[in-house]
Structure 1
């Protein structure tokens, strides 16, 4: 895509998605719908294994909801499209890894977008906040997700006060995985994506489904679902050519060739 607020680039099994809406990469309804189409296509393309989401420029990853568009008539409860706001938060069946490469300011719905990824890498100048409290609204998705990702008291302070975290503090609380110099961020995200994409895609899918579905389950209940063949991705993995390939490669002392079949 070229003349859209969302730029995409395929490199082998990896899809790069860049939010490019000057000046701040804010998301309006139309942009959210495009993002939903992009991530749905990623989900459904058997040749794509990993996605990277980032922002254009050096200052903003994403500040979230476009308040200017809202002032012009975009309803906050309007049609966000497939996957909800930003195309990721509520996209059903997304059993592929997503990496967020946070290249700058990441706040509000932008932070919620990053929280929808599986791995978060950040530039050393990146910053994070949930400023919704200051405009009299609620960071709804973050209120659900953030207290499960970082210490409860830190999450609640962010939600109640809107205070900012720099990259070092975000890493200290486990909000992000790694900090990189801004000039190296995308190279490091691509390196991580290539590493994951080189692995067995059916195992990655099983990991995603188990983690997602078991989040609010007791351990034994989740294990029972696995043993009773109630996770589709796990059953597909156990009956796959790749399962046999892994064992054969080990026995033959060679690198496995994963086909996702």
Structure 2
């Protein structure tokens, strides 16, 4: 059985971590599997949104310490994606985390690398590395304070204490908290709301929005104008107004 499984549902690709016996910890096989799944999402014009989920009761405990202690720590990183084949990956398409349980250390950093997160009520999030004389080296040091604010980000980083899903929602780390039984339905519903829109416009909006906290206004104005210029050359740019005038749902082609 594959440690990373994929399932297509129309324009959505569900990527499932499948090492429940190891709390979905990331080893080399998982990292390569996630990278391959992201390749599939990025390279297929018919796939517009991805969801990362997990089997079992834990989203991910982060790095597989057995692999690390066996001298295989470098296998947890890929050249293009970094840790878990994901955290440094240059992606164009939206990715939603469906956190079914604890997302700790590298597992939390996987969530932070995604664009949105739907969480089960039982989920908790945290970066406990300092409790083991480590630091979150897969993006958590800067992505977490961006997500929850500098003061709370510093608290979580320096105490290593986790927060429950409800608190993560209050802080803006999570988009929605739902009962465990409704987790995938809610993640798919969110993905469906996105795939109802023009995919190239979604990708352009994602690219600029994720730079909102790091770039200057001048850079963002320029990027917005350039993206609008590129979108105006596409078939979907013509389809949107046409469908509105003809009082019908648009048929997007992602081109």
Return the TM-score normalized by structure 2: 0.94
Equivalent position SS for 1:225 = helix
Q: Which residue of 244, 247, 251 maps to 2:241?
A: 247
Gaps of 5+ in 1: none
Partner of 1:87: 85
Q: Report which stretch shifted further, 76-85 or 146-155.
A: 76-85
Q: Is the 8 A contact 1:123 1:180 kept in 2?
A: yes
Shift of 1:79: 4.2
d(CA) in 2 for partners of 1:120, 1:134: 26
Partner of 1:99: 96
d(CA) in 1 for partners of 2:230, 2:44: 17
Structure 1 residues 11 and 77: alpha-carbon distance in aligned structure 2, compared to 1, 3 A threshold = closer
Partner of 2:41: 42
Partner of 1:122: 119
For residues 107-155 of structure 1, the C-alpha deviation after alignment (integer angstroms, 9 at most, x for no partner) is 1010010011111000011111111001111102110111111121111
Shift of 1:88: 2.1
1:77-226 mapped onto 2 (5 Å cutoff)? 79-92=77-90, 94-140=91-137, 141-226=139-224
Equivalent position SS for 1:139 = coil
Pairwise CA RMSD of aligned residues?
1.6
Q: Is the 8 A contact 2:63 2:76 kept in 1?
A: no
d(CA) in 2 for partners of 1:250, 1:225: 27
d(CA) in 2 for partners of 1:220, 1:30: 42
Return the TM-score normalized by structure 1: 0.92
d(CA) in 1 for partners of 2:213, 2:162: 28
Partner of 1:32: 31
d(CA) in 2 for partners of 1:162, 1:6: 28
Shift of 1:14: 0.6
d(CA) in 2 for partners of 1:109, 1:203: 31
Equivalent position SS for 1:208 = helix
Equivalent position SS for 1:52 = strand
Shift of 1:82: 3.1
Shift of 1:97: 0.9
Q: Is the 8 A contact 1:40 1:82 kept in 2?
A: no
d(CA) in 1 for partners of 2:157, 2:149: 13
d(CA) in 1 for partners of 2:30, 2:65: 13
d(CA) in 1 for partners of 2:171, 2:191: 23
Shift of 1:33: 1.8
Shift of 1:215: 3.9
For residues 45-95 of structure 1, the C-alpha deviation after alignment (integer angstroms, 9 at most, x for no partner) is 1110011101101x2000110111111221258643431112221112x11
d(CA) in 2 for partners of 1:144, 1:77: 23
